[in-house]
A and B are shown apart, each in its own frame.
Chain A
């Protein structure tokens, strides 16, 4: 089973929930697909034993062959190749490596070169749980190839927790589209609710069953509960707002390792998610 943990915006406690779910599971593996700002490794503190560079290709134009016909620029949907007056400009960060410009070039002037766009690191926690996290090089636009790699290397695992990028961008879709279930982590504040609505819609479009974990319960108002009721979105659990939790979080400690009540709470949430799947 692949369980995505996501949120409408950053800072709702998504990573806290994802890493603690991993910690209370026996056989889970975690992938951190929030490649622009991975941070689950800061809590899981894995010993990294393998790192691989993720590569992408981009076109280079042989100026001696190119006659500036413009075909490559007309073809590219991503504005990545721009035939200009005397040369062809390539914006390699915009290139999606589709291979199209090479196919349409009548002069055979286009070749591809590889470059690294980021890394995937694999490691084990002190309790021998496996985690993989991706890291996108700053300035790169799309972390999707890294996210796809994270999915690929865990495709045979029984239980995978997907710490997903916040929001509803392409990278979020790439992270969650293969999930069997999605846990939305939201805060009970008016902003939290409006951000969450977009995520609910996205999950509905992708036909992914979902439930909500309300983090920092007791801090805001009850709009989130009304919303979930009207929209029949299942509430999996509530994590109360507690100073100790915030302190553990700030210290980079997994709360479930030091707080029995929290551990029980998360174990209950996980049991519901796994049970639901089996019940379907």
Chain B
């Protein structure tokens, strides 16, 4: 199953520009053509939200993730859960982003896109 990071529930929501701290994940079962939205309960956590989000998605049967960015811990988790990630860069709706994925317009990523947030000082 496929998951997309979203600002709101549903296929017509805009995609979220964060992964670990995304508001929702819209999970889409290609076989049944059925969307299901889950709230990201880990989004308020201080650190490591990405890893926990990957675990949550795995529990919901997700094996392909469409995401805007991915930190190093989240990427480690993606690999350990044997999921695949495709990156979107445009602020479209979930539906359009899934279309882009199906049309092969999104590129697969296997290294993290953002440096570790830790150890950088907020001034």
User: Interface residues, chain A, CB within 8 Å of chain B?
Assistant: 9-11, 36-37, 73, 78-80, 82-87, 89, 91, 93-94, 138-141, 166-167
Contacts and interface: CB of A to CB of B under 8 A. Distances in A.
B80 A80 contact: no
A142 B49 CA distance: 16
Contact of A79 (B42, B116, B123): B42
Contacts of B109: none
Contacts of A167: 122
B35 to A, nearest CB: 25
Contacts of B119: 138-141
Nearest to B45: A79
A84 B81 contact: yes
Contacts of B77: 82, 84, 89
B118 A79 contact: no
Nearest to A169: B122
Contacts of B49: 79
Contacts of A166: 123
Contacts of B10: none
A143 to B, nearest CB: 11
A91 B73 contact: yes
A89 B79 CA distance: 10
Contact of A85 (B47, B80, B123): B80
Contacts of A83: 55
Given A9-B123, A89-B77, A82 B47 contact: no
9 contacts: A10-B123, A37-B121, A85-B82, A89-B51, A94-B48, A94-B73, A139-B116, A141-B119, A166-B123
Contacts of A11: 123
A131 to B, nearest CB: 22
Contacts of B73: 91, 94
B96 interface: no
Given A78-B45, A138-B119, A139-B118, 16 more contacts: A10-B121, A73-B52, A73-B55, A78-B46, A78-B48, A79-B45, A79-B52, A83-B55, A84-B58, A85-B58, A85-B81, A89-B76, A91-B76, A139-B119, A141-B47, A141-B118
